[in-house]
Amino acid sequence: MSDTATDPDAAGAAKVPPLVVRFAGDSGDGIQLAGYEFAKSTADAKSDFMTFPDFPAEIRAPIGTLFGVSAFQIQFGADEVLTPGDRADVLVAFNPAALVTNLQNLKSGGVLIVDDSSFDARGLKKAKLETNPLEDGTLDGFQLITVDVVKRTLEALDHLGLGRKPATRAKNLWVLGLVYWMFGRPLDTTQDWLTSKFKKTPEVAQANITALKAGHAYGETLEFSAFPTLSAPRIAKRHKGKSRIISGAQAMALGLAAVAALGKRDIVYCSYPITPASTLLHALARFEGGVRTFQAEDEIAAISAALGASFAGSLGVTASSGPGLSLKTEAMGLGISVELPLLVIDVQRGGPSTGMPTKPEQSDLTMAIHGRHGEAPLPVLAPATPDDCFWIMIEAARIAIETMSPVIILTDAYLANAASDWELPDVDSVPDIDWPAVTSSGEEFQPFTRDPETLARPWVAPGTPQHAHRIGGIEKAQGSGHISYDPANHQEMTKARAEKVSKVADRLPPVELEDGAQDGDILVIGWGSTHGSIAQAAKELNAQGKRVAHVHLRHLWPLPRGLDELIKRFPRAVTAELNTGQLCSILRSEYLAPVTCISQVNGQPFHVSDLKSEITKRLEAPVS
Amino acid sequence: MNEMPVKDVKAFTANDFGSDQEVRWCPGCGDYAILKAMKTVLADIGRTPDDIVFVAGIGCAARFPYYLSTYGFHTIHGRAAAVATGVKLANPELDVWVVGGDGDFMSIGGNHTLHALRRNVDLNLLLFNNAIYGLTKGQYSPTSPVGTRSPSTPGGSIEQPVNPVRFALGAGAKFVARAADTLQTHLPGVLKRAHANKGASFVEILQNCLVYNDGAFGAINDRSQSHEATVRLEHGQPMVFGKEEDKGLVFDKETGAFEVVNLSDLASKDVLAIHDETNLVRAQALAELEQPGFPVPLGVIYAEIAAEFVEARGFSGTKSKWGRDELKALL
């Protein structure tokens, strides 16, 4: 980091490797809340970070069960942090089930904080344990700290006279206090937040703050000096301007608000609740202008209403996840046929069918590119980071309007929920989004004449005088747009619709390798949310003297110009994808290039260590 | 020289609302009659074709937008009400009409009909009910009576048909009316009332399919016999029917049902039911009246003023009050 060099503290701090903390407990234990507060405190400490909320689909699963475990992981450090980290340095487990399901996420020798209040026969049985892991040697390789958190919290809150149940609910704050102590973090940000959050119930605020402080004080009594350096403040001043914590979903919502602001037109967002896309609807519904939100009766109604809004001259936007995208395909075909702009956001999750609703996967790529009846191409984009989620909405809107086409944006359950520190964009430096001006030639309006440059048809909304026209899903005559079953016309229109989409690539910046690399012994091709993992793996391998290049595709269709040549410049090319090789197949069929694939479909982001070993394996294999 | 188009201020005639497209319905189709009535109504309403949108799904009826000079969107099967809702969200100032058949409205798109009605989106929803699937060559539809023989039910259909008026009332519609294709002195008035209502206006138009279901509505849309088979509802007026206006309906408060009476048998006409289109219970009883045995009610069956969805959401116009300053504040 160039600007950290000027910071007196940075040089020392940067030598400390990044640290990973993971909280795991029942989905009703307030794990995500504790995690988010820890992230805020991390931002205050000027560390860079990336979070990974890893939770089940069940809202409040039966207490203590394996399937009810919710986890939150954060990696932070003085240097740039690209991923939430592979394995944790510190794991907090609130019950036996959380311990069983998360122990694999703790580094050997790592610090393990266990709330032992539910390690009785009943708790062990719920976690399907025959012996107590606190006693049977399972945890021998870790630095174990056992505390009866429930008891300690109740003791701390005893004088407040709250009763057992409400007092127990503050146990996540007690643990957070302990973890804050461990990393030398001040308590004020969380205290202030609690005070304002529970303004109307000051006794609840008081209870939570008391628990937080009690946990922190408990740390002082621990004979714990495993990480003496952890208490040193780490400083990574990455940003020149103001910054805030942002998740991918929040960034997308702000991106859509930006589209409205830059276009000076309200946009219309229509969706039907589905995990993990609903957070976008929630965020947009809170805005006080710019985006007209509509919770439709189903997925089909959502995209239909969005398309209706686009017909009426607004920009229609819809979002869903895999099952919903399946339902929307017919209407997407209509959008392609009538050539209207439309944004379709797919927050991908493990499939097929209901699959793993809260877990990320990148398995809708082929469907996004090809999954419609008829010849129905459309542009497909994928943001790489939470920050990019903001910018890609603006870019997708420009492409949709310039091309007069639906555009699919592929994100996933990880990217939607993962949060990082975000430098606020300089809004004034972003050009307007131009809504096409309507002019009158005096002749009869022809809705399917094409711009010679983009091949887009004119977009004229109802209400525009002297331009009334009809559009529909039946094939239209080039130019007039009248119903046409003429064979030559259908051939011509099919070609025009494909060329129009293909021409998007002409307007894209040339494809470039990450980190300014020029060549290497292997090219790793990624797309979407895997950016951080791949970038980190390449960085670490290159630090070891390997020659790994990384290209990350934000545009999946049309593919960027020059990608074919770029791939063929390398002796080895491999995609890394959270599917069974969908981009790989596309590259092979498009370019006849011998691309292979690093595939993972376990509902988790890539671990950097796994990627490193897979890439190394391929580097060691002879070039075919 | 290209210029910004300006609004036409001339008065439009019924003919001005016809498009240059050749009409492709079968000769004798009831849809021609509805199209004719619609053009008259649009001319009477007095807005320019530029401010009117027709949205349709798929089916014979759904070709309607192509034959008008207004803006039109021929969409996909069943989804017209949802598309039209989006049109209204984006630009609440447009007059939006939704046209579909019994397949569009009551079968594949039944869900969207339900929700457009209960939300009370300002749409004029016209169900052209011919009780058959015409464009796919004559299969029974959800409004076909039990026993309908069709290519997919050679032994006769066994399903209980849906009653669209009952459906609409059940969905919480605030404006429900019924008309018939050939009754050209009656249909335009119903369409105008539908347009005047701010909210979702549901109109079932009984429409004859000459090819696959000729005479499905019997005497109702046979102009010479219609008055015997229908009762024309007028708000505040007694429910009288028959060519000679010699029959009427009385409402039995005990059973909550109507009875047919001969006026000549009555000591006083005061016992006749007076149509109150704001009375939901009466409207529900009217929805049950079917041939044979009862005259089929035509006209505005139920009308209640209620908050319109898009307006209630606070959306107006097309421009945004949202700019860079608001965005910066949000960030």
| Residue B250 reports pLDDT greater than 60 | yes
- Give the separation between CA A531 and CA A447, rounded to whole angstroms: 41
CATH number of the domain bearing residue A267: 3.40.50.970
CATH number of the domain bearing residue A131: 3.40.920.10
**Beta strand pairing call for B201-206 and A267-271:** unpaired
Mean per-residue pLDDT, A186-208: 94
CB-closest option in A270, A287, A289 to B86: A270
Residues A223 and A199 both lie in one domain: yes
Q: At what angle do helices A299-311 and B80-90 cross, to 10 degrees?
A: 50
| Residue A14 reports pLDDT greater than 50 | no
Mean per-residue pLDDT, A99-109: 95
Token digits for A86? Answer: 């592979």
Cβ of A268 within 8 Å of Cβ of B321? The answer is no
Q: Is residue B248 situated within a structural domain?
A: no
Token digits for A487? Answer: 């064979």
- Give the separation between CA A368 and CA A372, rounded to whole angstroms: 8
Residues A525 and A385 both lie in one domain: no
**Is some CB atom of chain B closer than 8 A to the CB atom of A286?**
no
User: H-helix or E-strand containing B257?
Assistant: strand B257-262
| Residue A79 reports pLDDT greater than 50 | yes
A/B interface, count of CB pairs below 8 Å: 218
Residue A6 CB neighbour total at 10 angstroms: 10
Angle at A448 between CA A443 and CA A454, to 5 degrees: 110
| Residue B31 reports pLDDT greater than 70 | yes
Q: Specify the range with the lowest mean pLDDT, choosing from A399-403, B91-95, B218-222, B229-233.
A: B218-222
Mean per-residue pLDDT, A430-442: 85
Task: Please tell me whether residue B247 adopts helix, strand or coil conformation.
Answer: strand
- Give the separation between CA B324 and CA A432, rounded to whole angstroms: 10
Interface with B, mutate which of A298, A311, A394 (most B CBs under 10 A): A311
Residue-averaged pLDDT of chain B: 95
> Where does A276-410 have alpha helices with state H?
278-286, 299-311, 322-338, 365-370, 386-403
| Percent composition of chain A: helix, strand, coil (DSSP 3-state, to 5) | 40, 20, 40
| Residue A515 reports pLDDT greater than 60 | yes
Q: pLDDT tier at A512 (50, 70, 90 boundaries)? A: very high
Mean per-residue pLDDT, A78-94: 93
Residues A180 and A251 both lie in one domain: no
Mean per-residue pLDDT, B252-274: 94
Range of the domain at A210: 10-231
A36: buried, middle or exposed (CB in 10 Å: 19+, 13-18, 0-12)?
Answer: buried
Looking at per-residue pLDDT, the higher value among A443 and B166 belongs to B166
- Give the separation between CA A61 and CA A69, rounded to whole angstroms: 8
CATH number of the domain bearing residue B151: 3.40.50.970
| DSSP 8-state class, residue A296 | -
CB-closest option in B3, B82, B90 to A300: B82
A314 to chain B nearest CA, in Å? 6
Token digits for A448? Answer: 């399917």
**Is some CB atom of chain B closer than 8 A to the CB atom of A241?**
no
- Give the separation between CA A147 and CA A518, rounded to whole angstroms: 53
Cβ of A289 within 8 Å of Cβ of B326? The answer is yes
Mean per-residue pLDDT, A551-571: 97
Cβ of A289 within 8 Å of Cβ of B321? The answer is yes
pLDDT value at residue A164: 85
Q: Is residue B264 situated within a structural domain?
A: no
Q: How far is residue A191 CA from its own chain's centroid?
A: 28
Of B239, B250, B253, which Cα lies nearest the Cα of B300?
Answer: B239
Residues A187 and A288 both lie in one domain: no
- How many residues are present in chain B? 331
pLDDT in tens, A449-482: 999 999 999 999 999 999 999 999 999 999 999 9
Residues A217 and A269 both lie in one domain: no
**Is some CB atom of chain B closer than 8 A to the CB atom of A366?**
no
Token digits for A551? Answer: 């290209």
pLDDT value at residue A56: 83
Domains contained in chain B, number:
1
The half-sphere exposure of A241 on its side-chain side, counting CA atoms within 13 A, is 8
Burial A255-272 (b: 16+ CB within 10 A, else e): bbbbbbbbbbbbbbbbbb
pLDDT in tens, B288-297: 999 999 999 9
Cβ of A311 within 8 Å of Cβ of B4? The answer is no
Residues A186 and A249 both lie in one domain: no
Q: Which of A231, A252, A278 is the last residue of a domain?
A: A231
What percent of chain A is modeled with pLDDT above 70?
95
| Residue A609 reports pLDDT greater than 60 | yes
Query: Which residue of B lies nearest to A300 if distances are taken between CA atoms?
Result: B79
Residue-averaged pLDDT of chain A: 92
pLDDT in tens, A361-392: 999 999 999 999 999 999 999 999 999 999 99
Q: Is residue A202 situated within a structural domain?
A: yes
Interface with B, mutate which of A334, A445, A470, A474 (most B CBs under 10 A): A470
pLDDT value at residue A233: 43
CB A394 within 8 A of CB A262: yes
Q: Which of A429, A448, A482 is the last residue of a domain?
A: A429
Q: pLDDT tier at B8 (50, 70, 90 boundaries)? A: low
The half-sphere exposure of A2 on its side-chain side, counting CA atoms within 13 A, is 1
| Residue B2 reports pLDDT greater than 60 | no
**Which residues in B lie closer than 8 A to residue A424 (C-beta atoms)?**
331
Q: Is residue A494 situated within a structural domain?
A: no
Residues A384 and A520 both lie in one domain: no
Residues A58 and A186 both lie in one domain: yes
Bond from prior residue into A276 cis (ω within 30 degrees of 0)? yes
Q: Specify the range with the lowest mean pLDDT, choosing from A3-17, A605-619, B29-43.
A: A3-17
| Residue A518 reports pLDDT greater than 90 | no
Q: Cα Rg for chain B, rounded, in angstroms? A: 21
Q: Is residue B60 situated within a structural domain?
A: yes
pLDDT in tens, B114-149: 999 999 999 999 999 999 999 999 999 999 999 999
Q: Which of A395, A429, A463 is the last residue of a domain?
A: A429
Of B72, B32, B35, B75, which Cα lies nearest the Cα of B52?
Answer: B72
The amino acid present at A329, given as its one-letter code, is: T
Q: What's the N-to-C CA distance of chain B in angstroms?
A: 43
CB B133 within 8 A of CB B139: yes
Bond from prior residue into A186 cis (ω within 30 degrees of 0)? no
Mean per-residue pLDDT, B154-166: 97
Residues A538 and A564 both lie in one domain: yes
| Residue B19 reports pLDDT greater than 80 | yes
Residues A169 and A34 both lie in one domain: yes
CB-closest option in B58, B73, B322 to A261: B322
Range of the domain at B140: 14-237+275-330
Q: Is residue B259 situated within a structural domain?
A: no
| DSSP 8-state class, residue A448 | B
pLDDT value at residue A28: 85
Q: Specify the range with the lowest mean pLDDT, choosing from A237-241, A327-331, B7-11, B300-304.
A: A237-241
Mean per-residue pLDDT, A54-63: 83
Token digits for B88? Answer: 């209204």
Residues A398 and A540 both lie in one domain: no
Cβ of B83 within 8 Å of Cβ of A307? The answer is yes
Q: pLDDT tier at A232 (50, 70, 90 boundaries)? A: very low
Of A51, A19, A24, which Cα lies nearest the Cα of A37?
Answer: A51
Q: Is residue B265 situated within a structural domain?
A: no
ipTM attached to this prediction? 0.96
- Give the separation between CA A544 and CA A548, rounded to whole angstroms: 10
**Which residues in A lie closer than 8 A to residue B89 (C-beta atoms)?**
268, 270, 292, 294, 305, 308-309, 312, 314
Residues A123 and A208 both lie in one domain: yes
Domains contained in chain A, number:
3
Mean per-residue pLDDT, A514-520: 88
pLDDT in tens, A208-225: 999 999 999 999 888 776
Q: Give φ, ψ of A43 to 5 degrees.
A: -65, -40
Q: pLDDT tier at A517 (50, 70, 90 boundaries)? A: confident
Of A537, A543, A547, which Cα lies nearest the Cα of A572?
Answer: A547
